[in-house]
Amino acid sequence: MFHPRYAITLAIAALLLSNSPMLLAQGRSIPVSSEVKAEEQKELPDVLPEGQKYRYRFFNGLNVSVDILDPLLYTFYFEHASFEAQVMADFHHRFFPMASFGMGIADETSDNGLEYGTGKKQEFNFKSNLAPFGKIGFAYNIDYNSTRPNDLYLVFLRYGLSYNKADISNLYYADELWGSLGPISINDQEYTTQWVEVGGMVKVQIVKHISLGWDLYFKAKITQSGTQYGTPFFVPGYGPNKSHIGFSFRIFYDIF
């Protein structure tokens, strides 16, 4: 049966490959670094005219991006993922307010089969259906008067909010004295989570209007509700509940 995961991967591959034949056929030679530098200096002067604070105008456009790493890993490796789209505005090439929205999913089975008390292997499952999340934040370009306007080096702060509902099934509890208790199910657990992310982002232009980039960040939860029967394994937009480092790989499209 054709799994939805493969559709996501095919879509990403199509997006990556869509510009390639034309680009590869151009066959132009690659310049050496001194030639690139000379070309840069020709285009944009290193020193700004006196009294001019910014090299770039007030509003420089919008870009949208999607994280392609999580869907890709979900297809081949992980049993959980967050699908995220982000929009970012450019002011003076220095300030970048951003907002993102997405959906997260998890259907994770314990992969090691726990040797639990009785010595039997027990596999339990954490299932969270597609659930929404949103993030808003602000990025700052540390090299805002750079002569390379299409490459960005940003630091950012984001706030995230998500809601998900999960079922946990086939749990076992055992102690040496009283033996094994189970299977236990914890159903319809509703979690609301707020968190913050602080990190850095790089955006590098690949072809006209299309850029790729990473963001690597530290994340920490502010509040999490609905944890009467334990914390969730997965939070949409945040990732595994116990993680504190986040990483995404984005494909950007510059709208104008």
Residues 168-227 interacting with other proteins (rule: CB under 8 A): 168, 171-173, 175-179, 181, 184, 186, 204-208, 210, 212, 214, 216
By the rule CB under 8 A, 151 interacts with other proteins: yes
Q: Can you tell me whether residue 35 is helix, strand or coil?
A: helix
Pairing of strands 121-122, 125-141: unpaired
Q: CA-to-CA distance for 256 and 252, rounded, in angstroms? A: 12
Inter-residue contact 212 to 34 (CB < 8 Å): no
Q: Contact letters (x/-) for other proteins, 48-87, by CB under 8 A?
A: --------------------xx--xx---xx---------
Joined tokens for residue 65 = 């991006």
Q: CA-to-CA distance for 251 and 15, rounded, in angstroms? A: 9
Q: Amino acid letter at 255?
A: I
- Give me the residue label for tokens 């030679």: 29
By the rule CB under 8 A, 159 interacts with other proteins: no
57's CB contacts (< 8 A; 6+ apart) are 92
Stretch that binds other proteins, among 29-37, 50-58, 83-91, 193-201 (CB under 8 A): 29-37
Residue 1 or residue 25: which is nearer to other proteins going by CB? 25
Q: Contact letters (x/-) for other proteins, 84-103, by CB under 8 A?
A: --------------------
Sign of CA dihedral 5, 65, 98, 142: positive
Give the interface with other proteins as residue ranges (CB under 8 A).
16-17, 19-20, 23-24, 26, 28-31, 35-36, 39-40, 43, 68-69, 72-73, 77-78, 108, 110-112, 114, 116, 122, 124, 126, 148-151, 168, 171-173, 175-179, 181, 184, 186, 204-208, 210, 212, 214, 216, 229-233, 240-243, 245, 247, 249
